[in-house]
Chains A and B, each alone.
Chain A
């Protein structure tokens, strides 16, 4: 069988197993895995059952019993490249079920879409990679190299017990290239992502009875002032690498189209999100504590330190406030000229007839953990429709295109196509 014939075979399998694919995704959505709290056991069991059914051995690695990770791998017939596929099992929590028009955990299919919390971020991607792994395994007697599938828990809250744990304790998941299927949009391949700074501003005053506002500074009112002043983070000037900036400018229209107008601007800027505010105990007590949790995104080429030093300066103006860094990741990116980018482009042209742009990502993904260890990492997935919003869903037709593109790109990479 020629490589061309193998590609035809893969596409045929995908078309033949389309119903199974769709039903499996719906079933996966019906196994809730919101994080926090992050108990992904039911959802993990669904993946393991599928692997067992198709006869592929898999290991469960669970440093936290309620947050298991799956690793499955096969070797081809001869030496070659090692490609790692990575998806996550956990999803955002759902605290706004009342605003949904569907059951957030129902996996309901309607109008060519599958609805549910996490279906877009990223249960569809994890299922795509799982099935791609299964189909490529059927060709393993003909393939060179090695293919590893990883499905992790604990991505939504930073990855400590998921991808980070695997990379620290099971270096066999590092590979030579990482392909992730986080949502973004099939017209874009992500070669990098913004950095993240998570910091808490903690305001402590003595507090008192609420009728005695002259006795103590109010932690909530100091917090409101600081929150207002922190908006300056959004206006920090940015210096960006010329090639990255050109790529983003070329794709500007597409970035705005897939991520809503304004995204092409935001991708090149610092942004501040005050994700959580917790202040006070009771309406008639003057609050002695208030906590602002900030999520700052750092554009490619800039540093966490830029944002942090501005935030420190602002917080230092308020004697009752202090800043605590909760975590950070510097912006990270891989070579947009890497063969995997070309494989994804070729596959997309073949499957869907369009050439995706290579851009960076607004959101963060576990792909950063591979980049930080020097492994080129790329993300390709469906449109991120209503991620962390009511009525999150996945368009089935678009998703099938993504499944095919990922499968063909992985096949091409393993076969060493495009190698010098």
Chain B
């Protein structure tokens, strides 16, 4: 029983250690994700800074108008993040599937590739955000 527990604990540490090695190998990506997190947090601050125009600082605070304002802001940011994420994943998808060399060998311009991905991202983002 003790032996089994020791094995499980060893395996648990093994998983954690493997993740640490992977994150160390791709440490540059951490800079990218940090930037993304900062922009996400700032977007909330940006929405809050607009509350002043709705009278949040004064006495005439309109709750419904504020709710609508925040809702539209969150939806817009959600839509933009989806579009940016899909466009950023254009290459990541190809790498995961192992098709990147095949796509790059096709007789199409890189811009066409990116615009095609963006076209889908814009429509997909609308479909996800509108309902």
Decide whether A and B are members of one complex: no
A binding-site residues for B, Cβ under 8 Å: none
